[in-house]
Amino acid sequence: MHSKETIVPALQSPTLPDRDAARHEEAVIVKAVVRACDLWNLTNKEAAQLFDVPIATWNRMKAGDFKGRLDQDKRMRASLIVGIFKGLRLFFNGPLTYQWPKAVNSGPLFYGRSPVELMIEGGIPVMLKVRRHLDGLRGGL
């Protein structure tokens, strides 16, 4: 059995440095997602849809003025976008790294559509499939 002293600190709200660290982490996450979407040449509308945020929120993110919080969904999307970006860099390591997400793909996962188009439509489940597809191309999972 735990004493009251060991339980109470765990239930307290985060300290100011913890909140500052969380805000910094979120700023880094947003910057990475914005950079990937810019390098992929996504329109603001496409990027906002891929990250599942309103266009006004995406514009604040691009401008570095985002003050909101990233929920679990946004953190997962960010992880997948960065993972896909990294996978493309490892697999192609050239101009196709940035062109592939918007290029029409005739492969079985895409059936004549671009990865971005498919990921916007299918959300996280399709983003996971695209990530796994790239890992498979590289000989990974």
> What average pLDDT does this structure show over 136-141?
73
- pTM to 2 decimal places: 0.83
Give the pLDDT band of residue 140 (cuts 50, 70, 90).
low
Q: ∠ CA(65), CA(120), CA(75), 5° rounding?
A: 50
Residues in Cβ contact with 104 at an 8 Å cutoff, skipping those fewer than 6 apart: 110, 112, 113, 114
Count the alpha carbons within 13 Å of 25 in the hemisphere toward its beta carbon: 12
pLDDT tens-digit readout, 69-124: 999 999 999 999 999 999 999 988 889 999 999 999 998 899 999 999 999 999 99
> What average pLDDT does this structure show over 44-70?
95
pLDDT of residue 19: 77
> What average pLDDT does this structure show over 29-58?
98
